[in-house]
Amino acid sequence: MLQMFISILVISINIKSNKIMKIKSKLKSKNFRKLSLLVFYCTMSAVIMAQTKTVSGVVTSSEDGEKLIGVSILEKGTSTGTVTDVDGKYTLTNKSDISTLIFSMVGMKTKQVAVGNKTVINVIMEPDSKLLDQIVVTGYSKQKKADLTGAVTVVDVDQLKKITSNNPIQALQGRAPGVNITTDGSPSGSGTTVRIRGIGSINSNIDPLYVIDGVATQGGMHEMNPNDIESIQVLKDASAASIYGSKAANGVIIITTKKAKEGQLQVNFGARASASWYDSKIPMLATQEYGQAMWQAKINSGDKNPDGSGYGYNFITGYNTDGTPKLLQVIDPTAVYLDNDPTKSYYHTMKISNTDWFNQITQKALSQSYDLSVLRGTDKGNTMFSMNYTNNDGIIKTTNFERFSARINSDTKLINGKLIIGENLSLNKTGEIQDPGVMDLTFQTLPIIPVHTVDGIGWGGPVAGMNDRQNPVRLLEDNKQNKYDYMRLFGNVFAELELIKNLHLKSSFGIDYSDYFKRSMQLAYSSGYLNNNQNGVNNNQGHSIKWTWSNTLNYQKTIGKNAVDILLGTEMYKQHDESFWAQRLGTGSYVSEDPNYMYLDAGTGTMSLGGGAAENTLLSYFGKANYVYDQKYLASVTVRRDGSSRFGKNNQFGTFPAFSLGWRINQENFMKDLSAISDFKLRVGWGQTGNQEISNVGTRSIYVTDYAGNNPTWDPSTSTAYDITGSTTGSLPSGYRITQRGNDNLKWETSTQTNIGLDFGFFNQKLYGSIDYFIKDTKDCLINPPYLAAIGEGGNHWVNGASIQNKGFEVLVGYRSKIGSDFNYDITGNAGSYINVVTSLPAEVVNNYGGNGTTDNILGHSLGTFYGYVADGLFKTQDEVNNSAEQNGKALGRIRYRDINGDGVINDKDRTWIGNPNPDFTYGLNINMEYKGFNLTLFFQGVGRVDLNDYAVKSFTDFWSVRETGSNKGIRLLNAWTPTNSSSTIPALTSTDSNNESRFSTYYIENGSYCKLKNVELGYNVPQKALKVIHLSRVHLYVSGQNIFTVKSKSFTGIDPERPDFAYPLPITFTSGINVTF
Amino acid sequence: MKKIAYIIVIAVALTSCTDFLDLQPKAILSEAQVAGADNADKFVIAAYASLGNDHYNIPFSLWPYGNVRSGDAYKGGRDEADIQAFYFMETFKNMRTDFGEVDGIWYNIYVGISRANAALRNINTLTEAEYPNMKVRQAEMRFLRGHWYFMLKEMFKYIPYIDETVAVTDYEKISNRALTNDQLWDKIADDFEFAAKYLPAVQPEIGRASRYAAQAYLAKTRLYQAYEQDEQNNVININKDKLNQVVTLCDSVMSSTARLETDFGYNFMPGAYENGNESLFAVQYSHDDGTSKGRLNFGDILATPQGLGCCDFHKPSQNLANAYKTGANGLPMFDTFNDTDLDLTVNTVDPRLNHTIAIPGHPWKYDPTLLYDKSWNRTPDVYGVYASLKENVSPKCDCFIHLDPFFGNTKNRIIIRYADVILFKAEALIELGREYEALSLINQIRTRARRSTGLLKMSNGNYESNFNVSNYIPGTNCVWTQDYARQALRWERRLEFAMEGNRFFDLVRWGIADSYMNAYFTKEKTKRTYLKDGLFTKNRDEYLPIPFNQINFSKGTYKQNYGY
């Protein structure tokens, strides 16, 4: 029993060693040692008993001879022990018959010393090669990092947590080579996408798989409490990931949550507050400037004496001495009101204004987060309980995200520790008021419109002649109560039984239950000529239950120099979703628009409703064998066979094999003597993974009764109902339509990946890193290609289409050292690069991804490569206009397009490949410094040359008439080409886009490379002496800032190359916080 | 032993669920579930439903294609850049093969065709014993298919013709040039012939196609076919046989109970006026019908003036308004109508002016208490102050539906009406050299126009305008030669069917689109500066380009139209 206790203790320390790596640099700080002392003192004191013999001594480090604080000393075979004090001293009064003491400390190699007759035992401890002994979760099992043969990146979770983000995956940006993360600034952080090793597929879902405590999921990471995370590992290559078979094609991110350790009693509390603001505002035209641009566009288009637009603008055109027109007046100085039409209800309620709409919709946003965790471990089991409350306001007004989460992770040991049962369960309740999509509108709304009418209550809005864009402030205000609530129960219960020695049977039942509810109120409004006197309520709810039952049998055995680890398993997965919505809407449907009143029951308008369900299952069998010979030669074989309900009988199952080999060259005799080399391992892996991310009914021919059709406001109705009797109202007869043609032969998309990697470490892992090279071929991509219009309905058809290849390399290098005795630093850098190529395309889709439709297509190019015209500058002289190729609409100041095929005519044959949206490389650099109680962290993240398609914004910032002429424009176009401003590269303003400059061309392609100081954090640990007085073991204070500055390409015309479009903008954030451990 | 038992239990549990992967899909139907006689009527309904599944930028009313391109209407909206492709079509400048709107209407018409074909495929597997309505329903589906192909044909000329017997995998092998211009007309005519043969004279449900609708549409098809075109869209011959067929078919329709409405305006009014005597086939719209927004006339939704809703598109041109002026003899001012702009204090007009065009100060949709105002216009300095009345309704009507930010209505859209049949026949007779027989037909239309003033009154009981319409009386107010008759017929068609989506196709049929449009631009651009670039390119602009996407998707099986 005692022995078992010790072994469990050791195991728990080993498991924890993963954590050790991340805080290792802190270990060298004296304060941390003091902290460790306290923690260990607390935890160990419980097991100290009265004794008869006294042993004492000092424990020092072999590295620098410093005294080690907080080393735990345990009598072998007992639960008695102590810890070293701030001077590295210990005194242990023990039983006389105890022969051996075990010295252990996080970050140090455990040492056993025989007591004998000694009363003074001084010990020198050696640092652990932590990176190598770290335990890595690799899929249904764990391995020492030294024994890994796949491409696995272990993320430094402590560094990651320095990013103030709800979404732990958002903070992963720049942390792992080969993992590309794009994100937005929404308060939930839900707009984050993750791509591992390039774009793995053409059409289907390309998100990675997340495995949280053994339970797979594909999203909702913003619902997770980041403080619960103990470790994150990214399995990038197939040899590592293929144990997850069908779901692993896009890589796997394994997340393990915190568990208490035996003997631990710890309470942690943390709090932080952040302020964020919008600093990527695109400079827009003000009221006067908009008028100037409009006038110029009309003049340029041949209008000799342009009038205003009928709403405030009242041009007076004069002439310069050379006869060129000039604008003498933009707005009638006596004009006060925008709306001068007495027949309108809003007559003389809106004053001519100069509204900066971006200022109106954004705010300085405050966020706060509080978390509490209690960890308690005994020899009978361990419990971790945590709670978190987060409330984030967004920098767009009224947007907000709120999360309450609770977690309990516990295990209980039974039958002398041979049976462990436990659970990891989290319950999260999130709520969000989302951005109703105002960025685009804010861009377009005219500055002359006031936010409010003169009474300060009514809404400003467009008058005749303007575009029909809604007042974005109104949209936000009317949306402020439309919050969704989402409740999610996620986790697993498990039992692990040691059947015979070294043979473990584990059964885990995972559950992911979610419940979504949203009540949206639509309020009546009047905003200029836009108005709607209808009001109503829309309720939307969805329930989803996913369960995973996995059973594994694991056998581990070491015979001499041979170590074998065999795993066999089965898994069943089922997902069932149900949704339901109901609406009541009508003119005056609700007499009060109070949120307390607006429920479905209380209204009088027309009711409508809908609902649906979806279901799918997976059945899997898998096996894995790891073999290590003499700690030098490593081999691993994996096979997984998956069956999916999504495929027809013909191809229901897919088999995904993998193998990998490793050679720890530094263990060879010829290298063993080179003490500078602490690690040198060559890894080679090959494997296959599958992808089944299609609709649950993707193989079937589908007929539906589509009574209501889709929402017909912005797209054609698809309804099958018709008033055949001419009765005009009432229930209609309805029929069927086909929405998809079946394909019984549809089969799994398969990725085959080869990986070659080298892990290295020098000077006892002071300098360490890895290099990986991979080739990933994806074939039989599941695609639902666009189709010939003549097919009409039922053109949708899933096929196994193209093949694509990604190949690239990844480098990770770390260096840690110290200057003097108090200054420690640690630098970690990583970079990844890949090239994506489409290697084959079935004939039916050969023209679907760009190309001229005949001779030129995407084959051999990267997926998503832009196809368009080459903008060859502007026509600057009449000679240039006259002597260029025939181009409809060409004129002075207009874009000249390149005659690619040289036939003297600019037409669709002159398009070519003009940009690659895949970045040349991405990188991250983390610098961590510690001096006494202080620590400073700088984190840079960036991407190399990448071609951005900036059409969405640039078509508004550089042109008058490429998009809505009635919309506001960016200030750049004030510098547009005119005969007197002939050096401008911005085309002359025109009333109509007669040169077809809306055509997709290099004009819209921008260099999106950037380097950002993503995070800077200054932290301080309050000295132990001060803490002792107030009975705390650790107090950490910090301030940090995010997105502090950006270095971008000089040629980039936008503001933020990371988020150039109308997505939720990324804010600058400053945070201060405190973490306290009792 | 217990442990081993545990393993066995798990193993058995897993292996016994071989049906774990066999799931039934939710809320969808398989091909087998929709087969058979019980479902035949449902496919038929779905095919009819397509008639109402258009959209403001792909309108089956064809307002941009038939009216804006003909000089009867301006595009409207905020300015030229508002649905810019329609502006380019309006001026025929910058015509491109990749307009999304053109690709969109092409696709959505083929959706209609695919629904008709799906219904036919289903019915063809049945026997009359299983499905007593078999022949009638086949005829209805072929009527709809003929309607869709006719729309494609008049817009694109060369189109891939696909019927219900073609397997989907073979679609892309069928070129738009597999059939000649004439053969394509014959295919369309085949469907209407079948429909005319098997459809009853009167359908128990008003929304279904009847025999006379099919005959009228067949007459229209043969009339278009009669004007034979070469590859460059020049009219090279007028086929007398086809014209004779038109006359026969029209005679048959005229033997039915269909009649002209007593008042022209009744054709464009909602409620009890819908599906009247004159309406041979109409799209049936509905509201409060259980769909989310109602089955509205989505295609014409933008034509609502800004003063009532949104977005003031489809504005009658000054040229059109002027065309309603009448001389002292009560006849159109063929040569001088456009010399000065319509002035109701001076000019006498055809009453159809006030049924067709909203003029500031006049009642909106026959409501003297609701005067159409200049302020209802969105950008009067660009598009003038007129609005289109035919597709619009009174805001007081319960058929006027808010579809934020738009306003739609559920007034039926007539696809073919009896007046059309009268003038088809008149046109055929004139081209056959029997212009004297056409005279009474044209006068029948004019007589009805003259009597259609009852709705056109101000609140004080006075008529809206000074109306003066005469019949053509040879020897009294005209000399009825073939040329004169042709001119009268063409004018009459314009006045009668203005803003109903036909005019441009009439001009192309007659082979005069280029001269007519360029003459129009010369004058109209002095009033509407935005038309200054207007230029019709002969031998190209008679038809739209085959959408670029479709040529690509067909991998070059489709050929582009001449001139593009």
Indicate if the pLDDT at residue A835 is higher than 90. Answer: yes
Do residues A847 and B552 lie in contact, with contact meaning Cβ atoms separated by under 8 Å?
Answer: yes
Give B61 to chain A, closest Cα distance, Å.
14
CB contact under 8 A, B171 and A717: no
Sort out which chain A residues have CB atoms less than 8 A from B41's CB and list them.
733, 735
**Distance in angstroms (rounded) separating the CA atoms of residues B498 and A664:** 86
Q: Would you say residue A107 has pLDDT above 80?
A: no
Judge whether residue A138 has pLDDT over 80. no
Q: Which of residues 474-513 of A touch B (CB under 8 A)?
A: 497, 499, 505, 507
Q: A732 vs chain B: nearest CA distance in angstroms? A: 6
Q: Would you mind telling me the total number of residues written for chain A in this entry?
A: 1078
Q: What is the CA radius of gyration of chain A?
A: 33
Interchain proximity B275–A908, CB inside 8 Å: no
Distance CA A424, CA A383 (A): 10
Chain A residues with CB-CB distance to B287 below 8 A: 728-729
- Residue A731 has its nearest CB partner, among B118, B289, B529, at B289
Binary contact (B10, A551; C-beta < 8 A) = yes
Please say if the pLDDT value at position A1028 is more than 50.
yes
H or E segment to which residue A160 belongs: helix A157-160
Rounded mean pLDDT of B100-117?
97
Strand-pairing partners, residue A757, are A683, A772
Task: Report how far residue B283's alpha carbon sits from residue B298's, in angstroms, rounded to the nearest whole number.
Answer: 12
Distance of CA B112 to the CA centre of its chain: 14
**Which residue in B46, B172, B379 is closest to A788 by CB distance?**
B172
Contact B298 A712 (CB under 8 A): yes
Sign of the torsion formed by the C-alpha atoms of B172, B176, B180 and B181: positive
User: CA of B201, closest CA in chain A: separation in Å?
Assistant: 16
Query: What proportion of chain A, given as a percentage, has pLDDT over 90?
Result: 59
Facing B81 at nearest CB: one of A615, A703, A964:
A964
How far does Cα B165 stand from its chain's mean position?
27
Which among B213, B238, B211 has a CA at the least distance from the CA of B226?
B238
CA distance A108 to A24: 10
CB nearest to A615's CB, from B23, B84, B373: B23
Which helix (DSSP H) or strand (DSSP E) does residue A1039 occupy?
strand A1034-1048
Taking CA–CA distances from A888, the nearest residue in chain B reads: B94
For residues B469 and B450, give the distance between their C-alpha atoms in angstroms, rounded to a whole number. Answer: 6
Q: What is the pLDDT of residues A238-252, one digit of tens each?
A: 888 888 877 888 899
- Closest chain A residue to B102, measured at CA: A789
Three-class secondary structure of residue A543 per DSSP: strand
Whether the predicted pLDDT of A41 surpasses 80: no
Q: Looking at the partner chain, which of B79, B160, B532 has a beta carbon nearest the beta carbon of A966?
A: B79
Q: Which residues neighbour A998 within 8 Å (Cβ) at sequence distance 6 or greater? A: A955, A959, A962, A963, B84
pLDDT of residue A132: 63
A vs B: CB pairs below 8 A = 333
Q: Reply yes or no on whether the pLDDT at B10 is more than 60.
A: no
φ, ψ (nearest 5 deg) of residue B41? -60, -30
Q: What is the dihedral of CA B308, B310, B313, B315, to 10 degrees?
A: 10
CB contact under 8 A, A708 and B30: no
Chain A residues close to B296, C-beta within 8 Å: 712
Measured between beta carbons, which residues in chain B are less than 8 angstroms from residue A536?
none
Contact criterion met (CB < 8 Å) for A703 and B23 = no
Verify whether the Cβ–Cβ distance A343 to B375 is below 8 Å: yes
Nearest-angstrom CA–CA distance, A613 and A579: 6
Burial class (CB in 10 A: 0-12, 13-18, 19+), B477: middle
Give the separation between CA A248 and CA A706, rounded to whole angstroms.
36
More reliable by pLDDT, A104 or B435: B435
Tokens, residue A490: 């996620």
pLDDT digits (tens, 9 = 90+) for B233-254: 999 999 999 999 999 999 999 9
Amino acid identity at B449:
A
**A245 touches A641 (CB < 8 A):** yes
**Residue A142 pLDDT level (bands cut at 50, 70, 90):** confident
Fill in the amino acid letter for A847.
N
- Distance between CA A526 and CA A460 in Å, rounded? 8
Crossing angle of the two packed helices B503-510 and B211-226, in degrees rounded to 10: 40
Band the pLDDT of B7: cuts 50, 70, 90.
Answer: low
* Spatial contact of B327 and B316, defined as CB atoms under 8 Å apart: no
Residues of B in contact with A645 (CB under 8 A): 20-23
Contact B315/B69 with Cβ under 8 angstroms?
no
- In whole angstroms, what is the distance from residue A86 CA to residue A29 CA? 12
Residue A164 pLDDT grade (very low, low, confident, very high; cuts 50, 70, 90): confident
Tell me how far apart the alpha carbons of residues A523 and B316 are, in angstroms, rounded to a whole number. 36
Cβ–Cβ < 8 Å for A340, A351: no
CB contact under 8 A, B406 and A613: no
DSSP label at residue A855 = S
Taking the CA of residue B50 and the nearest CA in chain A, the distance in Å comes to 7
| Structure tokens belonging to residue A971 | 């200030």
- How many residues are listed for chain B in this entry? 564
Question: Which pLDDT value is given to residue A752?
Answer: 94
Torsion of CA A815, A817, A823, A826, to 10 degrees: 20
Q: What pLDDT, on the 0 to 100 scale, is given for residue A172?
A: 87
- The rounded percent of chain A whose pLDDT value lies above 70 is 93
Does residue A394 have a pLDDT over 50?
A: yes
Distance in Å from the first CA to the final CA of chain A: 31
Question: Between chains, do B310 and A468 touch, taking CB under 8 Å as contact?
Answer: yes
Quote the DSSP letter at residue B65. Answer: I
Q: Which of B49, B378, B553 sits opposite A719 (nearest CB)?
A: B49
B133 beta partners: none
Decide: A386 and A372 in contact? Cβ < 8 Å. yes
| More reliable by pLDDT, A202 or A533 | A533
Alpha carbon B144 to its chain's center: 13
Across all residues in chain B, what is the average pLDDT?
A: 94
Report the residue of chain A nearest B175, measured CA to CA: A790
Please write the tens of the pLDDT for every residue from B500-517.
999 999 999 999 999 999
Distance between CA atoms of A520 and A593, rounded to whole angstroms?
A: 12
Give A297-313 pLDDT, tens digit per residue. Answer: 989 988 888 887 767 89
* Angle, CA A185 vertex, CA A183 and CA A188 arms, to 5°: 90
pLDDT at A871 over 70: yes
A579 in B contact zone (CB under 8 Å): no
Tens digit of pLDDT for each residue in A566-618?
Answer: 999 999 999 999 999 999 999 899 999 999 999 999 999 888 889 999 999 99
CB contact under 8 A, B27 and A718: no
Question: Is residue A3 pLDDT above 50, yes or no?
Answer: no
Asked if A767 and A814 count as a contact pair (C-beta separation under 8 A), the reply is: yes
Q: Is the pLDDT of residue A719 over 60?
A: yes
B228 alpha carbon, distance to own chain's centre = 22
* Burial (CB count within 10 angstroms: exposed 0-12, middle 13-18, buried 19+), residue A768: buried
For residue B11, pLDDT over 60 is answered with no
Chain A residue whose CA is closest to B58: A716
Q: Give the Cα-Cα-Cα angle B452, B454, B457 (nearest 5 degrees).
A: 120
Kindly report, residue by residue over A336-354, the tens digit of the pLDDT.
999 888 878 888 999 999 9
Q: Tell me, letter by letter, the H, E, C secondary structure of A65-127.
A: CCECCCCEEEECCCCCEEECCCCCEEEEEECCCCCEEEEECCCECCEEEECCCCCECCEEECE
Nearest to B49 among A722, A729, A731 (CB): A722
Closest to A613 measured CA to CA, from A547, A677, A542, A700 = A542
Average the pLDDT over A57-61 and give the result: 85
Which of B84, B163, B310 should be substituted to probe chain A, the one whose Cβ sees the most A Cβ atoms within 10 Å? B84
pLDDT at A49 over 50: no
Mean pLDDT of chain A: 88
pLDDT for B2? 53
pLDDT of res. A98:
62
Averaged over B210-231, what is the pLDDT?
Answer: 98
Residues B203 and B210 sit within 8 Å (Cβ to Cβ): yes
Find out whether B37 and B126 touch, Cβ atoms under 8 Å.
Answer: yes
With contact defined as beta carbons under 8 Å apart, do A143 and A626 qualify? Answer: yes
Most distant CA pair in chain A, distance: 112
Residue A720 reports pLDDT greater than 90: yes
DSSP 8-class letter at A366: E
Residues of chain B neighbouring A725 (CB-CB closer than 8 A) = 205-207
Domains of chain B plus CATH, in order, are 19-302+413-553 (1.25.40.390)
Kindly report the pTM of this predicted structure: 0.86
What is the distance in angstroms between the Cα of B10 and the nearest Cα belonging to chain A?
Answer: 8
CA distance A1075 to A1024: 14
Tokens describing residue A100: 């051996």
Smallest Cβ–Cβ distance between A302 and the set B51, B532, B551 belongs to: B532
Cβ distance A343 to B373 less than 8 Å, yes or no, reads yes
Quickly state the pLDDT bin for B454 (edges 50, 70, 90): very high
C-beta atoms of B25 and A889 within 8 A = no
Instruction: Say yes or no for a CB contact (<8 Å) between B46 and A711.
Output: no
d(CA B489, CA B493) in angstroms, rounded, equals 6
Contact A771, A758 (CB under 8 A): yes
pLDDT tens-digit readout, A80-94 = 777 787 778 888 876
User: How far apart, in whole angstroms, are the C-alpha atoms of residue B92 and residue B107?
Assistant: 22
Q: What does the alpha-carbon distance between residue B562 and residue B544 come to, in Å, rounded to a whole number?
A: 10
Q: Which letter does DSSP use for residue A744 in this model? A: T
pLDDT band for position A634 (cuts 50, 70, 90): very high
**Would the CB atoms of B171 and A499 count as touching at under 8 Å?**
no
pLDDT of residue A8: 33
CA distance A204 to chain B (A): 20
* Contact yes or no for B23 and A696 at CB 8 A: yes
Give CA–CA dist A254/A618, Å, rounded. 20
Query: What is each CA distance from A154 to A135, A136, A138, in whole angstroms?
Result: 10, 8, 11
